Every structure is written in structure tokens, then in C-alpha cells.
Structure 1
């Protein structure tokens, strides 16, 4: 999500830009409140099937919660001798990237007074499973590359829409996490 200078705002894309700008102003003066910790809990179901749930998180200096817990099952497809009870974990990463960039597009467009009629994206991640399966130790386990393609119908020029996408990308937490190294600690509790 991104906030830039407010322009004549005649668009209604369902984003409360005034609230976002107010939050930005408030958090600029209270940097400790801007520190958030999101948590996902996961439980193995069977085979390669597991269920991840998000509910509580920390932000604005206190514990917070979604209005309800949200769960997603992940699994692997039948071609990997699995039951295909949900998207694969790598597909969840792609869905997270699509959702984060799209939220940013809606927010930036709203703030710039650009009325959106439709926003669609396709996110493709190229992955060589020879690394994951231990066939070739020199093959990376993760995506070798990701491509995001937007189709946006809006009251704006192509240059204006490209600028909206660029600003969304610049402020996207998921884009940043995927595009840049992120320190990860894995431990047994």
C-alpha cells in the first residue's frame, strides 16, 4: 500500500485515503507504533497437507486481531503423490504478491484520483523442482524468476497507470520480501 501527495480525489475505488494519510501522519510522529509483527500458525494435517491460520498480530504498540481467524490449506498436487488439498506453498507466495500489489494499485489510484474499473493480474513463478527433489544440488529451490502482468481498465493514460503500478511495487511488503534477501531463523521450540 502506498500514499503519495493527495490530488483532486474524484475516484471511488473503495479505499479510505484520508484514513491512510492520517495513519501515515500519526505513525510519522510515533515510529515505535509502526512496528508490526504478523504471525501465521501452521498445523500438519496429513501427508504434505497442512493448514495455516492467521488471527492475532502486534501493531500500534499492542496486540491486535483480525475480525475473524483466516485459514488456508496447502498441499502438493497429485503428480507429486499428494492429495492436492490446496495450493502449493510457492503458489501462496505468488497469491500474496498479487494481493499486495493489487491493494497498492487500488490505494495509489484512489489517492491520485484515478477511477478503476477493473484490475486483473497474472503472476507466474518459474521453478525447477530438481533442486527441491534433490536431483541437482546446484539448482535453486526457490523461484528462478517471477513475472507480474497487470491488465487495468481505468480513467487514466498508460503512463499514469504505469506510475500507479510502480508506486505500488515500491511500497509493497510482499514484493520487498520476495525481491530482497530477508533474514529467516528456523528453530525447534
Structure 2
């Protein structure tokens, strides 16, 4: 006798598939504009917030305003009031890939027991500090390592990660050039 166990990774796949269908029929509603604002506090400390965004053809809001402190570590002669801005990039990548894994696993009826992502990025500060103009200011590489416990084979788990990577907005932002403009009012 085959017993089927319900899979619950906490992702409403039916709603995601419904949204996909609706946006296929109304592609203009798929255009989103994400926003964050940031205010300087003191030294290298800043506070950012996220609440409103544009999507589905109208202004939208999160249930609450999210606030984030950023700073540099004490070893950079700073007060260490929050993660370094580059660490937020790593958090974004890990979070986006992990959310994708949960969503794909739910859709493929794979029960997850645990997912842990560890993200590391190398950086040579000689670029930022103006010591060597040939050294870039950003990461020289990013490494993501997943530890996943699931009712699945290694191949199925690898396929979950590959599909998550393929559909991750943050992975795309980090691996493809993005136009960035900076203005002063």
C-alpha cells in the first residue's frame, strides 16, 4: 500500500501559480519598483527603512515598516552599530536562494526538514581605500554553501538549488550588469 504524506514547507504554491497565470495575462502588472530610504546617523552609521513599493499597477505597502542599521566594524575605526553594507548583499542572496528552494520544493512535493545557507565573499580593501586603483571595490567572488535535509535524493536537492538559482532576483542582480544612476538634489 502506498501512503502519500502531505508536503508542507509553508509555501502557497497554488497562489504563486495563480499569480503567474494572472501576470501572464496582464504583463504590465508584473512591473515592480522596490524602494529603500537611508539616513545618515553619525560616522559610518546609517539607518534604512523599507515599506512602500509599486506593483500590480498600484502603490503597495508591507504590513510594517522594516528598519535596518548599517555601519562598519570597529576594526575600521567605526562604532559597529550594524552589519556592514556588503553583508546585507550576502543576506539578500542567501534569503532569496533559500526562499526559492522552499518554493520549488513545495511545488515538486519535496518535504524539507532544514535548509542552511552559508555565504562568503572575498574583498581586497586596497581598492576601497585608494591604495591600488587596479583592485576593484567590490567582491572578488561569492561562495554559497547549502546544507539541506529533505525527503529527496542528492540529485533532487541539487535540482532544487539549480532552479532556485535560475529564478533568483538577487543572484541575477549580482551576476549580471545592472544600470545604476546616482543623482544629487
Give CA-to-partner distance per residue, 1:10-45, whole Å, 9 cap, x none. Answer: 310000000000000000010000000000000001
Q: Are 2:101 and 1:105 aligned?
A: yes
CA distance in 2 between counterparts of 1:129 and 1:89 reads 14
TM superposition shift of 1:9: 8.8
Indicate the residue corresponding to 1:116 in structure 2: 112
In the alignment, does 2:125 pair up with 1:126?
Answer: no
The CA deviation string for residues 134-186 of structure 1, in whole angstroms up to 9 with x for no partner, is 11000000000000000000000000000000000000000000111100000
Task: Give the Cα–Cα distance (whole angstroms) in 2 for the partners of residues 50 and 9 of structure 1.
Answer: 48
- On the 8 A contact 1:49/1:75 being kept in 2, the answer is yes
Partner Cα distance (2:65, 2:174) in 1: 25
Partner of 1:3: none
TM-score w.r.t. length of structure 1: 0.95
Alignment-derived partner of residue 18 in structure 1:
14
CA contact 1:9–1:110 (8 Å) conserved in 2: no
Task: Decide which of 152, 171, 176 is 1:156's aligned counterpart.
Answer: 152
Contact 1:10-1:114 within 8 A present in 2 as well: no
Moved over 3 A (4+): none
Distance in 1 of aligned mates of 2:47 and 2:176: 27
Q: 1:36-75 alignment to 2 at 5 Å?
A: 36-75=32-71
Normalization by structure 2: what TM-score?
0.97
Structure with higher RCO (Cα < 8 A, 6+ apart): 1
Q: Which one of the candidate residues 62, 83, 90 is aligned to 2:86? A: 90
Superposed CA RMSD in Å reads 1.0
1:173 and 2:173 correspond:
no
- The CA distance in 1 between the partners of 2:57 and 2:166, in whole Å, is 25
Aligned residues, how many?
A: 182
